[in-house]
Structure 1
Amino acid sequence: MTYIVNDLCIKCKYTDCVEVCPVDCFYEGENMLVIHPDECIDCGVCEPECPAEAILPDTEPSAEKWIEFNREYSEQWPNITRKIDAMPDADEMQKVEGKFEKFFSPAPGKGD
């Protein structure tokens, strides 16, 4: 089992989860994070740290489509191991629906 990040992270990119991850398995895109499923040790400490509730165990039915998405982008984006500021409108963006279609960017973030 692993954990995944879904589209609720888009345009929020809170990094409280990154700060608590014991194996540094988060990767940073321009406007969201992903988890490398082969590096995640299924400890679960990241899930309750996400204010946007964008982290789910892969056993959740809604998580299935995100496993390969997380794998693909974790192999393209840089690793992030420290907490950074959330995106400017993160709190407001938590309420927006359909974020993937409207805002997803495949561009990498800065990483560490």
Structure 2
Amino acid sequence: MTYVVTDNCIKCKYMDCIEVCPVDCFYEGDNMLVIHPDECIDCGVCEPECPADAIKPDTEGGLDKWLQVNSEYAEKWPNITAKKEPPADAKTFDGETGKFEKYFSPEPGEGD
């Protein structure tokens, strides 16, 4: 098992999860975060920290797409270990459906 970041992180990109991760397995894209599935130790401390409820255990159904997205982009994007401020308009996008198709950016974030 591992945890994965899902659709609702896109354009919200709250970083509360980063502060509590004991193994620094988060990677930063332009408008979302991902978890490296091989680095995640399945402790689950990040899941309740996400204000957008975007972090899920991969044992939940229907998350195959997100496991693939997390795996692929954790290899491409820079590691991030320090919390930054979310985008100013994050609350506007929180809970919106279909964000991957509308807004996903494959571009890397800044990382640490």
TM range (shorter): over 0.9
Report SS of the residue matched to 1:11: coil
Per-residue CA deviations over 1:58-100 (Å, capped at 9, x if unaligned) read: 0000222211110100000000001100111111110321111
**1:104 offset after TM fit, Å?**
0.3
Aligned position for 2:95: 95
1:16-55 superposed matches below 5 A? 16-55=16-55
TM-score for the superposition, normalised by structure 1: 0.97
Specify the code of the residue in structure 1 equivalent to 2:50: C
Counterpart amino acid of residue 81 in structure 2: T
Give TM-score, length-normalised by structure 2: 0.97
* Structure 1 equivalent of residue 14 of structure 2: 14
Aligned length: 112
Unaligned runs of 5+ in 1: none
SS in 1 for 2:63: helix
Give the 3-state SS of the residue equivalent to 1:95 in structure 2. Answer: coil
